[in-house]
Amino acid sequence: MVNGLHDIYSESNKKSRPTVSAPSGSRSKIKFLFGLLFFFAFLAGVSWAGFFIFGSGQKFSEDKIEIKINGPEKAVSGENITYRLVIRNRQRTPLANTSIEVRYPDNFVVASINPTSDDKENRRWDFGAIGEDEEKTVEIIGQLFGAPPMDLTLRTFLSYRPANFNADFQKVSNFITHLQPLPVELSVVGPDAIGPGEEALYAISVINISEESMKNLELSLKLPTNLKINSLTPAPTQGQTLWKLSELAPQASSTIKIKSIFTAGVTEAAPILSAILNLREDGQLFQQATAEKIINLTQSALSVTMAANGSVEKQSVNFGDKISFLISFENSGTVSLKNLSLRAVLDIPYDSSKSILNWTALEDKVNGAVQGEQRSATMRRGIITWTKAQIPALAELKPKSKGTVEFIIPIKAKNEINLAKLVESKITAYSEALFGTAKPGESSTLQSNNLSLALNTDLNLSAQVILKEKKNLPPQIGKKFDSENIYTITWVLANTLHEVTDLKLSTTLPENVDWKNVTSLSAGDIAYDANAKQVAWQLNRLPISAPTATISFDVGVKFSSDDKGKSETIIEKTSVEAKDKVTGEGVLLWKEAVSAGL
C-alpha cells in the first residue's frame, strides 16, 4: 500500500515538473553572439597594444624639428658677417615639401649664399623631403649697414609637411645682431672760450683704431651761427663743409684744420661746433659717430653791424638798382677805444672782365679808400676803408659812443654786363672794425653780420603794336564812336640769366577798347575777363634753353572821326610777376601803357 502510494505520488511529481530543453537552432545563435563579443574584444586589445608598443615610436613632435641660426651677436657697419642656418629633422617621421624663407635685417647687403637660392631675391630655398635625422644648411655672407647703436633682426620661416599628414606646418626663428659704432675716434679740439673778432684754430680728427681699412666715410661739419671760416685745410671735397674719406688705413688718421672767427651779433649763449662721421652705402648715409665742441663766447665792448637797403636780412636786387649800405658801430664798454678803423668788404660776381658794381658811381660822403682784388675767376672783392682821417670819431671812441657810415653803389645795367659769362648771382657783404688789444702792438678784428643780396634774373617784356585794319562803324543813335581800328599787339618775354617760374602778365583794356582774339601763342595760356576787361597770360616756366616766349592778340579801338590823328591808349600798364628759380626770390616788372595814333 505504502509502496503503491509512493509510486503514485512519484509519478505525479514527474508530471508536474517536466524537463525543458532548448531547440538546437537557438543554441547556435547564442554561441555566435558570444563569439562576436570575444572577437571584437580581442581586436580592441590588439589595437591598444599596437598603439602602446608600436605607435609611440611614430608619434609626430614639432619640437623635434630644429632650426638654428648661427651668426655674430655684435657687428659694425660694412663688416663681412656670416649667417649659418641649420635645419634638422630629429624624429622618425620624414618631412615633405620643406622650404625656408629668410627676411633680412634692414640695409643688409648679400655678398654670397650657399646653396643657390630658389628666387631672385636670395630669400627662399626649397629642400623637398628631409628624412629621419637628416639636416640641411644655408650659409649667407653679407654686410650690415645702419646708424648704431641698434639691434638688427634676421627672421626665418620654415615650412614643412610631416609624412602621413595632410596639413602644412611653419616654424619661426629670429636672430638679433647688435650693430655697434665703427671703431673710430672722432674729436674736435680748439679753444674753450673766444671773443668776437678773435681768430680761433679748431682741429677735427678721425682715427681708425681697428686693424681693418675703412672705406666710403664722409665727414661733415655743423657750424655755429656767425662763425666765419677763414680757411680750411685740406679743402672740402664737396660744398663748404664736407670731406669724403675714400679709405682710412688701420691706425691711420685724418685731420681737418679750421681757421675761423666769430662775427658780431652772435645770439647763441653757448655755440656748438659739431662734427659728424657718416658711412655711405648705395646712396644712403649712415651716421657712425659725432663729436662736438661747446664754445664760451666772451663779450666785446665794441659792436658793429651792417645793413643793406635798411635790412640785415637776405634780399634780392636787380640790374640797375642802387644799393644803400649802412655800417653802425658802438662802444658799450667803460674804456675809450682808440685809433679804430672800419672796412666794408663786398664780394661781387665777375663776368671775366669786370664786376657788376659800378665803382665809378660810388657815393661816399667821407671818401673812404677803395681797393679791389681778384678772388676767383667768377668773383671779385671790393674793400672800402675808413680811418680817423675820414671819420675823426674813430681816433677815440669814448664809452657809450656810437656812429654810422653810409655809402651807396649802383649795380650796372644788364647791357653793361656779359651775361653769358656771369656765373655767380649773389653779392655778399660784411663790415669789420679793427682796434687795439690789451697787449701793446697787437690789434683785433671784429666782424659784423653777413649780408646776402641775390641778383635777380634779367627778365624783360617788350610790346609791339601793328595797325591791322581800319573800318567805319554803322551810325547808331546816342553813340559817339563812328570808327574802329584793329591793332595786333605782340608781347615778347625775354630771359637769359636764370630760369623763372609761375609767370603771370596782366593788363586792362580801356573803356573804348574791345578784346578780339588771339592770333598766335608760343607758350602758356591766355584768358580775358570781359567784366573786368582784364587780359592775363600765364606760363609755368621760362627756361634758359628757351629764353623767349611770345603772344599776339587783336584789340579794337573805337573812336570818333573827329579824333583822327590823336594818340590813344590801347592797353593800360602791364605787370609781370614771376619767381627766380635760382635765387628763390619774386620778380616784379612793369611795362608802361601802350598807345597808338588814330
Q: Candidates 3.40.225.10, 2.60.40.10, 1.10.10.60, 3.40.50.1000; correct CATH number of 304-455?
A: 2.60.40.10
Q: Candidates 2.60.40.1530, 3.40.718.10, 3.50.50.60, 2.60.40.10; correct CATH number of 63-180?
A: 2.60.40.1530
Four-point Cα dihedral 277, 279, 283, 285, nearest 10: -50
- Cβ neighbors of 120 (< 8 A, separation 6 or more) are none
Q: b/e map of 524-542 (b: 16 or more CB within 10 Å)?
A: beeeeeeeebebebebebb
Q: How confident is the model at residue 286 (pLDDT cuts 50, 70, 90)?
A: very high
- What is the dihedral sign for C-alpha 63, 67, 72, 74? negative
Q: How confident is the model at residue 332 (pLDDT cuts 50, 70, 90)?
A: confident
Smallest Cα–Cα separation from 574: which of 555, 552, 590?
590
- Cβ neighbors of 348 (< 8 A, separation 6 or more) are 355, 356, 357, 379, 380, 381, 382, 427
Maximum alpha-carbon separation in the chain: 189
pLDDT of 41 reads 55
CATH 2.60.40.1530 fits 184-297, yes or no: yes
**Distances, alpha carbon 248 to alpha carbons 253, 305, 553, in Å:** 7, 44, 67
Cis ω before 181 (30° cut-off from 0)? no
- What is the dihedral sign for C-alpha 67, 72, 78, 84? negative
pLDDT of 133 reads 87
- What is the dihedral sign for C-alpha 388, 389, 393, 398? positive
pLDDT of 264 reads 61
- Cβ neighbors of 177 (< 8 A, separation 6 or more) are 71, 72, 73, 74, 75, 81, 105, 144, 151, 152, 153, 154
Bridge partners, 557 (sequence order):
485, 513
- What is the dihedral sign for C-alpha 303, 308, 311, 314? negative
CATH 2.60.40.1530 domain position(s) in the chain: 63-180, 184-297
CB atoms within 10 A of CB 122: 16
161-166's contacts with Cβ under 8 Å and 24+ in sequence apart are 161/95, 161/96, 161/97, 161/98, 162/60, 162/93, 162/94, 162/95, 162/96, 163/93, 163/94, 163/95, 163/96, 164/93, 165/60
Mean pLDDT rounded to a whole number for the chain: 86
- Cβ neighbors of 323 (< 8 A, separation 6 or more) are 308, 309, 317, 408, 409, 410, 411, 427, 453
Q: How confident is the model at residue 69 (pLDDT cuts 50, 70, 90)?
A: very high
CATH 3.30.499.10 fits 460-597, yes or no: no
The answer to which of 92-96, 416-420, 444-448 has the lowest mean pLDDT is 444-448
CB atoms within 10 A of CB 121: 9
Q: Which residue would you say has higher pLDDT here, 489 or 36?
A: 489
**Distances, alpha carbon 352 to alpha carbons 149, 420, 583, in Å:** 51, 10, 21
Averaged pLDDT for residues 173-194: 93
CA–CA separation, 230 and 228 (whole Å): 6
DSSP 414: G
Q: How confident is the model at residue 302 (pLDDT cuts 50, 70, 90)?
A: confident
Cβ(568)–Cβ(595) below 8 Å: yes
pLDDT of 34 reads 56
The answer to which of 16-25, 127-136, 476-485, 486-495 has the lowest mean pLDDT is 16-25
How does pLDDT run across 130-139, given as a tens digit for each residue? 998 899 999 9
Strands of 181-283 (E only): list them: 184-189, 193-194, 199-208, 214-222, 227-233, 242-248, 253-262, 272-281
Q: 262 pLDDT exceeds 60?
A: yes
How does pLDDT run across 452-484, given as a tens digit for each residue? 999 999 899 999 999 999 988 887 765 788 889
Q: Which residue would you say has higher pLDDT here, 540 or 434?
A: 540
pLDDT of 100 reads 95
Cβ(499)–Cβ(541) below 8 Å: yes
Q: 441 pLDDT exceeds 90?
A: no
CA–CA separation, 313 and 579 (whole Å): 19
CA–CA separation, 441 and 105 (whole Å): 64
CA–CA separation, 405 and 392 (whole Å): 12
pTM of the model: 0.52
Write out the three cell numbers for 97: 615639401
Residue with cell 663790415: 431
Smallest Cα–Cα separation from 109: which of 75, 81, 86?
81
Residue with cell 611614430: 58
How does pLDDT run across 348-377, given as a tens digit for each residue? 999 988 999 999 999 999 999 999 999 999
CB atoms within 10 A of CB 310: 8
What's the burial of 53, exposed, middle or buried (CB within 10 Å: 0-12/13-18/19+)?
exposed
How does pLDDT run across 123-158, given as a tens digit for each residue? 999 999 999 889 999 999 999 999 999 999 999 999
Q: 45 pLDDT exceeds 60?
A: no
Cis ω before 250 (30° cut-off from 0)? no
Cis ω before 234 (30° cut-off from 0)? yes
CA–CA separation, 543 and 538 (whole Å): 14
Q: 10 pLDDT exceeds 70?
A: no
pLDDT of 188 reads 95
Q: How confident is the model at residue 18 (pLDDT cuts 50, 70, 90)?
A: very low
Q: 447 pLDDT exceeds 60?
A: yes
DSSP 264: S
Q: 284 pLDDT exceeds 60?
A: yes
CB atoms within 10 A of CB 522: 13
CA–CA separation, 65 and 58 (whole Å): 14
Rg (CA), the chain: 48
CATH 2.60.40.740 domain position(s) in the chain: 460-597
Cβ(271)–Cβ(195) below 8 Å: no
